[in-house]
Structure 1
Amino acid sequence: MSRANKNNSISTHLLLWVFFSFSLVGCSLRPSKDYYDPNFVCFNEPGWRNQKDFKQYIEKIWFPVRLLYSEDNKSRKSSRVVFVGNSLVHLFLPELIKKEFPNQNVTNRGIGGDMTETLLSRIQDDVLTLSPSVIVMEIGGNDMIQGKCLSLVQRNFQSIIETIHKKNPSIRVIVMAVPPTKVRELNQIVPVYNLFLANFARKTKNVEYVEVWDDLRKPDELFLREEFVRENGDKLHFNEKGYEIWGKKLRPLVP
């Protein structure tokens, strides 16, 4: 399969993921996921709270995209910079990457719906086999959507970094803040998780944290600014202007 056909296949699975995820969003973002609710009980198990939906996601989205990545890795061999993470990375489409990082050897290995646990399980095969010098990572928002226990998410994240640096201690890992959304329950808890990421990066060699909240949120509210909201009413993902913020923040770190 040609590189262009592979990219088209990946884009096709991205569209399938978008359709699938929006079919679930109504039941994924209920007030029960409010970490500040006195009746809230965090989810400390693998997968999603709805295991039937999680199995469907793994079979129809996660595995097929990984198979495409596996085939592409065989022909690509290596990549100096690899982006990895959840849907925000997955939606950083090739034309946007070329716009923000012209003439750079950049590969995207994001999968919509990815959580810290699923990223941990694939970081070796999908990313480290490309022998990157720099890994740009955005992960954790879907864990919050599922109401995962913060201690579990933090341990998973630490394990991801340990796996990377066990492979090669000199790999620079640039960790993007989980950005604001249009969902109140997420915007309440995500800054707590981002604080953990920032503190972790300060204490860990070859890990850098990039904050984006002040650039993306409304000046006086904990919500994504209207100029960054997608036209389709998507409450979770920023639009192309958001990726311009990513580019502006990352270009000095990825020369």
Structure 2
Amino acid sequence: MTNLVLFGDSITASMTDGYPSPIFSNEIRKYFPNIEILNRGVPGDRTDLALSRIQADVLQSSPDIVTIFFGTNDVTDEGPDYQTFISNIKEMVTLIGIKKCILITPGITGTSLQTLYPNQKLSQYAQGIVALAKELNVTYYDWHSVAITYKSSDLLQVDDIHYSKKAYELLVQGLVPLIESKDKISMENKEKDLLENQ
């Protein structure tokens, strides 16, 4: 069975009305009922903090596929600067393995949060992830370019930061072909290993 780890912040944890929920995982499960999904989203997390838990939360479970979805908290004043953010993502990819990773660019925030979580900065961080993905030849989904085509009220809860059900549906629709392709490769590799070890 393919093992998928969702690595990220509160958006990966699917915070709904202030509490983590299974929305993100359940939406993926609709398309992939046979994949084991481990949600490793931590509210308030940033790339610098996430690196300290990557061993326990990601590598230890020997994942076949890992979605890396950070940026929303990284753009705050407490977060790492742009170059550090990109090098943190690069380190995650190196530790997990290029072939296993799917990078997801950060989405958008609503009007009331532009001072703390500016969309302008989220756009810059998103473009940086796309450039890094192309440079390293890592699979990526540019969720940011999809999110900016919608009104923030369509995608966000009233807190202007966490996602509505519609946002998760759209996000997962974009991830499905990427997970499918990685799942296929992972299954083929496992079969190959079994044959070689017989």
What is the TM-score with the length of structure 1 in the denominator?
A: 0.60
The separation in 1 between residues aligned to 2:172 and 2:2, in whole angstroms, is 18
Identity in percent? 25
The separation in 1 between residues aligned to 2:59 and 2:48, in whole angstroms, is 16
Q: Does residue 180 of the first structure (1) align with residue 105 of the second (2)?
A: no
**Residues 13 and 22, structure 2, Cα contact 8 Å, conserved in 1:** no
Q: Match for 1:175: what amino acid?
A: L
The separation in 1 between residues aligned to 2:87 and 2:125, in whole angstroms, is 12
Match of 1:254? 179
Q: Call closer, same or farther: CA 1:114–1:210 in 2, change over 3 Å.
A: same
Q: Does residue 101 of the first structure (1) align with residue 101 of the second (2)?
A: no
Q: Match for 1:157: what amino acid?
A: I
Structure 2 portions without partners, runs of 5+: 16-20, 181-198
The separation in 2 between residues aligned to 1:159 and 1:142, in whole angstroms, is 18
* Cα displacement (A) at 1:152: 1.8
List 4+ stretches of structure 1 deviating above 6 A: none
SS at match of 1:135: strand
SS at match of 1:89: coil
SS at match of 1:141: coil
Where do residues 162-181 of structure 1 align in structure 2 (5 Å cutoff)? Answer: 162-165=94-97, 171-181=99-109
What is the TM-score with the length of structure 2 in the denominator?
A: 0.76
* Cα displacement (A) at 1:216: 2.3
Where do residues 89-238 of structure 1 align in structure 2 (5 Å cutoff)? Answer: 89-91=12-14, 93-102=21-30, 103=33, 104-145=35-76, 146=78, 148-165=80-97, 171-182=99-110, 183-185=113-115, 186-205=118-137, 207-218=138-149, 224-230=151-157, 233-238=158-163
Higher relative contact order (CA 8 A, sep 6+): 2
**Residues 27 and 168, structure 2, Cα contact 8 Å, conserved in 1:** no
User: Which structure features the higher share of helix residues?
Assistant: 1
SS at match of 2:87: helix
SS at match of 1:202: helix
Where do residues 2-151 of structure 1 align in structure 2 (5 Å cutoff)? Answer: 80-91=3-14, 93-102=21-30, 103=33, 104-145=35-76, 146=78, 148-151=80-83
Larger Rg over CA atoms: 1
SS at match of 1:144: coil
**Residues 115 and 140, structure 1, Cα contact 8 Å, conserved in 2:** yes
The separation in 2 between residues aligned to 1:250 and 1:113, in whole angstroms, is 23
Match of 1:239? 164
SS at match of 1:162: helix
SS at match of 1:151: helix
**Residues 81 and 135, structure 1, Cα contact 8 Å, conserved in 2:** yes
Over the residues paired in the alignment, what is the CA RMSD in angstroms? 2.0
SS at match of 1:137: strand
Cα deviation, 1:196-242, whole Å, max 9, x if unaligned, reads 1001101114x2221123432356xxxx5322221xx2111221111
The separation in 2 between residues aligned to 1:95 and 1:217, in whole angstroms, is 22
Cα deviation, 1:58-78, whole Å, max 9, x if unaligned, reads xxxxxxxxxxxxxxxxxxxx9
